[in-house]
Amino acid sequence: MARDKPARRRGRAQRIVLGLVILILAGGLGLTLLWTRDEPILPHAITSAATNAPLLVGQPAVPHAVPGTALQCCGLADGGRASMHADGAGSNTHPTAGPLGLDPVVQTRLGSVKPGGECAVQVATKAGKLITLCGNIFNMELLLLDPATLKLLAREVLPGRSSTIRAALALDPDKIMNDTSGAYFFLDAQDRIIVADSHRQVRRFVTEHDGAGNWAFRETGNWDLSAAVPHDCVELLHWWPSGECDSVVAVMPDKNGTIWWVTRNGRVGTLDLATGTIHASLLAGEEIENGFSVAEDGVYIVSDHAMYRYETDADGAPAIGWRETYDRGTSRKLGQINQGSGTTPVIIGDRYVGITDNADDRVALLVYRREQGFAGTRLICRVPLFTPGASAAENSPVGWGRSIIVENTFGYTSAFMQTDWSHLPGGMTRVDIRPDDSGCDEVWTSPIRSPTVVPKLSSVSGLLYAYAVEVDPAGVPVWRLSALDFDTGKTVYGIRAGAGRSFDNNWAAISLVDGTAFVGVFSGLVSVHDGPAPN
């Protein structure tokens, strides 16, 4: 039924107010008044049913390692500490433990400014310090945190994104929530952070302390991609651009130390840090909204039309090794950011790479042989997933051994816009590649509703971590860090992280560091770890 005129007017008034607030705050009026604070996330207007939901449902887990070998490549930090997707292979697997559900302890902190910005990505230094990238309507920020207390140790402010102003001008917060630019940074083996900011600068930072306990980020390199990336973008004093505005989505190194970068409008480039030489190519008419993966044999990139293997030519420029188109469907689905694959490629072993497509009825897992000179049919299997008419995959798979695990994101919009939590179909499926490469088989499907998170596997405990949502009688979403058994898909336990919009995960990742699970949420960051052993 159509809304009545007063309801439509109220909705438009709310969007106008949102737009004005974004413009005012993006103009920097709040930047000198607000700063990063060590404060917990406080839920707003939460029902008693939500706040009284049990902390732990299920039983503590008994750890059991699952066989497999981590792929280490390209000078990245090891131990699953390197990126949003843990490593260069995009495996979303950590060779370290997460919480087992023993006397669980939940801690929270606001993100980069009050009321708090989402901390979507976490990596960890060799010494165990946590580095997280948080975004808000002002800007992006790198934060260095004490992992035990979530106390702020250092902060580096990065420029804001033009999507904030575009959202205000269009009265459409979707433009912010679907902007993936800058999210995919990495930590190298020397604990150096490499990130591309919204001004098309590839920047390198280290963290330092002065011996008296004071920490800081120090910039040790800066390379400008502006000559290769069009940037006639909306800004506060430039509201009506006429040219192209492109943004850098992700950066990753290859085995030779060359930095690869991709943009939303389909540019693929390389950067030689030693010489500053930049090469760029364009996938005309294609978008890249995901991160990409690297291995000893190449760079693997997915656009909204095709899966690619890249390598450098004799001059160091990007060269396509092979290209495989997939079913991109006829439109952007509810639960997807664009019309195309929603997954960063996952590299499996020495011969496979997997993504999902965007087929209309049911998305499918696609597994390819990735060797450049492979003579047979490159596509080993196409496995349709989840319920017909209610199937989407915007978060990247977990890949370990010969297994790939995909979650269903259908029905989710964003933390700004989601109002109906009752019709999320949910689902998470494990698919195994047959040893003889004759196809793939579904091993299990869980009904868990985890529609927003980048899940993670602990290979040493055999637990797959998700971020599940349930709805209390008043319609308030209650969020739980949930652990599934890798072998069976059964949910072992769920630990209540919080309730309401502030704890909406909004496409962010889980990261596992020394027994603690860190979860990026709309208002900041949540950590979950085991407490003291019971007497």
pLDDT for position 151: 96
CATH of the domain at 90: 2.130.10.10
Return the beta strands (E) in 342-426 as ranges: 346-348, 352-356, 364-369, 379-384, 398-400, 403-407
Per-residue model confidence as pLDDT tens digits over 457-485: 999 999 999 999 999 888 889 999 999 99
What is the rounded CA–CA span in Å between residue 418 and residue 133? 23
Q: How far is CA 447 from CA 247, 424, 428, 429, 495, in A?
A: 37, 11, 7, 9, 17
Residue 388: inside a domain, yes or no?
A: yes
pLDDT for position 354: 98
**Could you give the 3-state DSSP secondary structure of residue 362?**
coil
Per-residue model confidence as pLDDT tens digits over 229-256: 999 988 877 888 899 999 999 999 999 9
Residue 8: inside a domain, yes or no?
A: no
One-letter identity of residue 35: W
Return all residues near 314 (Cβ < 8 A) that are at least 6 apart.
none
Residue 20: inside a domain, yes or no?
A: no
Whether the Cβ atoms of residue 102 and residue 32 lie closer than 8 Å to each other: no
> To the nearest 5 percent, what fractions of the chain are helix, strand and coil?
10, 40, 55
Residue 264 has pLDDT above 70, yes or no: yes
Residue 431 has pLDDT above 50, yes or no: yes
What is the rounded CA–CA span in Å between residue 483 and residue 52? 21
Q: What's the distance, Cα to Cα, between the start and end of the chain in Å?
A: 59
Q: How far is CA 409 from CA 175, 343, 362, 450, in A?
A: 19, 11, 12, 7
pLDDT for position 116: 73
Per-residue model confidence as pLDDT tens digits over 66-100: 999 888 999 999 999 999 999 999 999 999 999 99
Distance, C-alpha 535 to centroid of its chain: 39
| Ranges 154-168, 182-196, 227-241, 299-313: which has the least confidence | 154-168
Strands 259-263 and 267-271: antiparallel
Structural domain including 342 reads 34-530
Residue 237: inside a domain, yes or no?
A: yes
Whether the Cβ atoms of residue 231 and residue 224 lie closer than 8 Å to each other: no
Q: How many domains does the chain have?
A: 1
pLDDT band at 115 (very low <50, low <70, confident <90, very high): low
Q: Give the mean model confidence (pLDDT) for residues 137-163.
A: 90
pLDDT for position 472: 86
Per-residue model confidence as pLDDT tens digits over 181-240: 778 999 999 999 999 998 999 999 999 999 888 999 999 999 999 999 999 988 877 888
pLDDT for position 21: 47
